[in-house]
Amino acid sequence: MWSLQNIADKVHDWLYLTFNPTLAMLFEFVIIGALAIGLFAMLGLILIYMERKVSAWMQLRLGPNRVGPKGIFQTMADTLKLIVKEGMTPDGADKLLFHIAPFLVMIVAMVVLAPLMFAKGFQIWDINIGVFFITAVSSISVIGVLMAGWASNNKYSLLGAMRSGAQIVSYELSAGLSILAVIVLTGSLKLSDIIASQENGWWIFKGHLPVWIAFVIFIIAVTAETNRAPFDLAEAESELTAGFHTEYSGMKFALFFLAEYVNIFVVCALGATLFLGGWMPLHFGTNTQFNKVMDYIPSVVWFFGKTFFLIFVIMWFRWTFPRLRIDQLLHLEWKYLLPISMINLLLATLIAIMNWHF
């Protein structure tokens, strides 16, 4: 199977042969940081353009079609506009917290990339609690949202931040329980082990009904956690102007905007890893001719193909369903998703104990 591990190994060996261990490790950190920032920039450009084109396709429109061929440079033009736009700080705002909040949200999104396995043997940090690390660190972003809403000294910002906090904390429970269903079947929190366990079939196929239920709940919960429609109560334009980032402009607003799309990528990458095998090709059983043909497709193509498929599903939600009220949003979580997730986890545990999965 084609892998990126050889490239990573060659760079690692060259650095440690050329420089002393301390400098080599420092250069590795710099390279990883530059690649992460480059990935962020590319994700922002690609996902915003994809959002516009998907929404246009669903509404029988053309979408961006002026700046560049098929409008591919429209997002770059918007980025340039945000870079040169003046950043305003409202009177009465807590300036320190106001300026820190967008950077905190962005840093959290960057740190969460560490355990993700982008291809076979291509991972920043193969930590043995990878899934727990992602769920724990991603929870910190709500502090940045609350910080932005409170520091803005604006009632709409504060209301949006409070809604976002209630929403994220609530739906984290269902998302965590749906993830636990796969963890119980796998027996490991390490992402590389979870992917390896799907060598003879993805969990979505061999985990029976509990994994299907967990997958559906996971998609609904992460859509709510990332403040995406129909759960975008935190930035409901008809009620709260722009929610917690009402007072932000220029690059600080761009950081919030970019962090939202990076978070969508992260949760979809996690979903692809847990339920769809990550970089693992589609295999049925072992040593079949079909499996050998699937192995010719590079692992990085499998990973990004599955991730962008889930991103498309989340975008599909946005342009299909109307926005819920805040009481409907919380009722959906506490009265339906959470009890179903708890019962589903018991079913997944029973299947794992009895070894009834394929």
Reported as a single tens digit per residue, the pLDDT across 20-48 is 888 988 998 898 888 888 888 899 889 99
Least confident of 56-70, 175-189, 274-288: 274-288
Q: Does position 56 have pLDDT exceeding 90, yes or no? A: yes
Distances (CA, A) of 328 to 237, 294, 332: 18, 43, 6
Q: Answer yes or no: are the C-beta atoms of 169 and 142 closer than 8 Å.
A: yes
What's the CA gap between 301 and 191, in Å, rounded? Answer: 18
- The CB-side HSE value for 75 (13 A sphere, CA atoms) comes to 19
* pLDDT score recorded for residue 343: 95
* pLDDT score recorded for residue 346: 93
- For 208, the 3-state DSSP assignment is helix
pTM over 0.85: yes
Across residues 326-340, what is the average pLDDT?
90
Structure tokens given for 153: 């000294």
Residue 57: CB partners within 8 Å, gap ≥ 6? 63
* pLDDT score recorded for residue 256: 86
Q: Answer yes or no: are the C-beta atoms of 141 and 108 closer than 8 Å.
A: yes
Which pLDDT tens digit goes with each residue over 213-230?
A: 999 999 999 998 888 878
Q: Does position 1 have pLDDT exceeding 80, yes or no? A: no
Please, which contacts does 103-106 make with residues 24 or more away whose CB atoms are closer than 8 Å?
103/255, 104/140, 104/141, 104/143, 104/144, 104/147, 105/141, 105/144, 105/145, 105/148, 105/255, 105/256, 105/259, 106/255, 106/258, 106/259, 106/262
Under the banding of pLDDT at 50, 70 and 90, the label for residue 340 is very high
Distances (CA, A) of 312 to 60, 234, 307, 318, 325: 17, 22, 9, 10, 24
* pLDDT score recorded for residue 282: 87
* pLDDT score recorded for residue 358: 63
* pLDDT score recorded for residue 338: 93
What's the CA gap between 273 and 109, in Å, rounded? Answer: 17
What's the CA gap between 139 and 342, in Å, rounded? Answer: 20
Under the banding of pLDDT at 50, 70 and 90, the label for residue 247 is confident
Across residues 325-335, what is the average pLDDT?
88
Q: Does position 265 have pLDDT exceeding 90, yes or no? A: yes
Q: Answer yes or no: are the C-beta atoms of 27 and 144 closer than 8 Å.
A: no
What's the CA gap between 351 and 184, in Å, rounded? Answer: 9
Verify cis geometry, omega within 30 degrees of 0, for the bond prior to 69.
Answer: no
* More confident call, 239 vs 198: 198
Taking residue 277's Cβ as centre, other Cβ atoms within 10 Å add up to 25
* pLDDT score recorded for residue 134: 92
Under the banding of pLDDT at 50, 70 and 90, the label for residue 167 is confident
Under the banding of pLDDT at 50, 70 and 90, the label for residue 239 is low
Amino acid at 305: G
* pLDDT score recorded for residue 324: 83
Which pLDDT tens digit goes with each residue over 266-282?
A: 999 999 999 998 899 98
Q: Is the dihedral of CA 145, 148, 151, 153 positive or negative?
A: negative
What's the CA gap between 234 and 244, in Å, rounded? Answer: 7
Q: Work out the end-to-end distance of the chain between its first and last CA atoms, rounded to an integer number of angstroms.
A: 24
* More confident call, 175 vs 325: 175
For the chain, the average pLDDT equals 87
Which pLDDT tens digit goes with each residue over 110-150?
A: 889 889 999 888 888 888 898 999 999 988 888 888 898 88
What's the CA gap between 125 and 112, in Å, rounded? Answer: 10
* pLDDT score recorded for residue 161: 86
Under the banding of pLDDT at 50, 70 and 90, the label for residue 238 is low
Across residues 175-180, what is the average pLDDT?
93
Q: Does position 164 have pLDDT exceeding 90, yes or no? A: no
